[in-house]
Amino acid sequence: MKALPLFLPLFLPLFLLSHAAVADDSGTPDHAILKCRALADTGARLACYDAIQLRASPQLAATAAAPPAAPLRTREENFGIELKKQREDEPKSITSTVAGDFQGWGPSSQIRLANGQVWRIVDGSEAVLPPMRNPKVTIERNMFGTLFLKVEGTNSSAKVRRVQ
């Protein structure tokens, strides 16, 4: 195998830059893109694409400037939707009721609360409870950030994750 000449690392960046300049000489982005596509070397092709100056239309500029607004929610509505960093003002627990009749859960069961939130059992646990109507439940975050659903009046709890 032949050794590479010592000057190659010095001239490679200049070579790439010279090919990037090709993208700007025509005046139209479409023409420049066609020139970039013709380059066989991956690095040179990428540098050529990066050098293309696109004309920004007012419509494109307005779209890029204004990201879509996220729906405003209260802290309680956001409870359980995992954030990258837990905020200090986020509640440690929420209390609601299970809408309708409730007799317990099984692995991967989904539980819909009266506040509209839907929680899924993620620890594989099961609980058979006496029939209840609209039981009060609390969802608490432990010190490690794990969420647990607890049914009032019972010793039953399950690890949960918010689905909706």
Q: How many domains does the chain have?
A: 2
Question: pLDDT at position 140, please?
Answer: 92
Q: Give the structural domain span for 106.
A: 75-162
Q: What is the pLDDT of residues 50-103, one digit of tens each?
A: 888 766 555 554 555 555 656 667 777 777 766 555 567 778 899 999 989 999
Question: In the predicted model, is pLDDT for residue 24 greater than 90?
Answer: no
Query: Does residue 157 share a domain with residue 80?
Result: yes
Burial 75-98 (b: 16+ CB within 10 A, else e): eeeebbeeeeeeeeeeeeebebbb
Residue 124 lies in a domain: yes
pLDDT top residue among 89 and 15? 89
pTM: 0.48
Residue 19 has pLDDT above 60, yes or no: no
Of 38 and 83, the one with more pLDDT: 38
Q: CB-based burial of residue 105 (10 Å sphere; 0-12 exposed, 13-18 middle, 19+ buried)?
A: buried
Domain boundary among 65, 87, 106: 65
Mean of pLDDT values over 99-127: 91
Confidence of residue 9 (pLDDT cuts 50, 70, 90): low
For residue 134, count other CB atoms closer than 10 A to its CB: 13
129 domain residue, yes or no: yes
> CA torsion angle for 5, 6, 9, 15 (degrees, to 10)?
-60
pLDDT exceeds cutoff 70 at 14: no
CA distance 116 to 69: 22
Instruction: Report if residue 82 sits inside a domain.
Output: yes
155 and 127 assigned to the same domain: yes
pLDDT for position 70: 60
Residue 67, pLDDT score: 57
Same domain assignment for residues 81 and 115: yes
Q: Which has the closest alpha carbon to 102: 160, 151, 157? A: 151
Q: How many angstroms separate the CA atoms of 122 and 139, rounded?
A: 14
